Structure 1
């Protein structure tokens, strides 16, 4: 039996009004999306509880260990957008590179930091798009302007970058 190493199970981007902007599951289609939506929602209470002690644009580290297999990590941007990464400690089979890497045995908060840096870069690139309006993804603004539409991020470039990050990450990687 091949040994298993941590892998990303879910990446969630949550808006400043606590509305989900994007959710990606890894591997796609093999996990129950509703279960991960509930986990992402539960992370909001932890952000709220820790917020008085943290400043914006900070890594919140381990938010909670859901069970012996899943762990949730969080990051808050200076715009109030939250990134949540759920790591499956038995997420994927070990490769030759993983067996050479001592970090593959366990997981530290610093192993997840490259994910947050890459997600923030992807989100900043999304915001730099002149056709992207972050306010249209806020439920209260859309309702006030009688706009009907998705509050989800639909940019294919952003979605592809999030998927790339989720698929490439492994413990010990320093840059994505």
Structure 2
């Protein structure tokens, strides 16, 4: 279903990036990096009430020839970026929202680990298994 899943810290550095196996994984890193400007623009356009929201689904950030990039921001300003293959026209907005909810729940579960220091790279196997399942279409 997804081609790339990324978790970006509040300060815009990557905490976790996982892609489908491909020869050009750098393309996904570039796509995620360029999407951060669109995420910041969408967050700032919401206005002052954005701090009151518990979560913020940003929807489609931008399409490319091959992929569509979707965004989601938590109340702590951690950003989730999911890159989906454009040829998969059967994906609906509700399915993308469900994917982000699943990712957010996995992130919260990972944060509950007392040995994880917020802001460090995500090395949780349970979190990675959830992401791999998203990449494989589970």
> TM-score normalised by the shorter chain: which range applies?
0.7 to 0.9
Which of 121, 127, 132 is 1:163 aligned to?
132
- SS of equivalent residue, structure 1 residue 107: coil
Give me the CA root mean square deviation.
Answer: 1.6
Pairwise CA distance, 1:132? 0.6
Q: TM-score under structure 1 normalisation?
A: 0.69
Superposed structure 1 runs of 4+ greater than 6 Å apart: none
- Residue pair 1:11, 1:23 contacting (<8 A) in 2 also: yes
Q: TM-score under structure 2 normalisation?
A: 0.87
- Structure 1 unaligned segments of length 5 or more: list them: 1-6, 92-104, 138-151, 170-176
- SS of equivalent residue, structure 1 residue 90: coil
Aligned pair count reads 132
CA distance in 1, matches of 2:18, 2:118: 19
**Structural mapping, 1:15-54, within 5 Å:** 15-26=9-20, 29-54=21-46
- Residue pair 1:13, 1:81 contacting (<8 A) in 2 also: yes
Pairwise CA distance, 1:37? 0.5
- Residue pair 1:15, 1:80 contacting (<8 A) in 2 also: yes
Pairwise CA distance, 1:32? 1.5
- Residue pair 1:62, 1:109 contacting (<8 A) in 2 also: no
* Structure-1 residue corresponding to 2:71: 74
- Structure 2 unaligned segments of length 5 or more: list them: none
- Residue pair 1:115, 1:165 contacting (<8 A) in 2 also: yes
* Structure-2 residue corresponding to 1:100: none
- Residue pair 1:63, 1:72 contacting (<8 A) in 2 also: yes
State the structure with more CA Rg: 1
